[in-house]
Amino acid sequence: MGRAVPVHVDTYRDEPISFAPALLDEVILRELLDEVGLPLFMNFVARMSASALNHQARLAQAAQESDHASARLTAHALIGLLGHFGLKRATALARRIEKAPEPAREAGLALAEMEQILSDSLELLPVRAGRIAA
């Protein structure tokens, strides 16, 4: 696994998200796996994936309707959800949307990027978890 280029993601648009940390934080994954075990973890991942995709759809709707409050709240919910599973890059992108002056506009600009990052992260998560648990 390569090293991530460090980026400070607490402020709006410090750097392009492509310079964000690696997709997954294996320390967080390891802690969660140690706490709940692989079978329950995989159940959590399935539920989290469905919820994350639901939030992604809400972001798309907020962007379409220029609903900044909804975009900000949805991005905030994603930060907590994705962060709990160590999805670092997706969390960084959600944080960027939340902190934007116009979150709905930022969500619209970031939708394709969010779809790709979530897809990559959700595909990699069970594989990494299986390797960690082995």
pTM, two decimal places: 0.82
Q: Which amino acid is at 41?
A: F
* Cα–Cα distance, 113 to 91 (Å, whole number): 12
The arithmetic mean of pLDDT across residues 48-54, rounded, is 96
The arithmetic mean of pLDDT across residues 57-74, rounded, is 97
* Cα–Cα distance, 3 to 80 (Å, whole number): 24
* Cα–Cα distance, 125 to 120 (Å, whole number): 9
Q: What are phi and psi of 87, to 5 degrees?
A: -85, 80
pLDDT band at 6 (very low <50, low <70, confident <90, very high): very low
The more confidently predicted of residues 11 and 132 is 132
In the predicted structure, residue 128 carries a pLDDT above the cut 70: yes
Residue 50: the pLDDT is 96
Domains of the chain: 17-133 (1.20.120.160)
Q: What is the dihedral of CA 93, 53, 63, 74, to 10 degrees?
A: -70
pLDDT band at 3 (very low <50, low <70, confident <90, very high): very low
In the predicted structure, residue 19 carries a pLDDT above the cut 90: no
In the predicted structure, residue 1 carries a pLDDT above the cut 70: no
User: Which pLDDT tens digit goes with each residue over 81-122?
Assistant: 999 999 999 999 999 999 999 999 999 999 999 999 999 999
* Cβ-proximal residues to 31 (8 Å cutoff; 6+ apart), any chain: none
pLDDT band at 47 (very low <50, low <70, confident <90, very high): very high
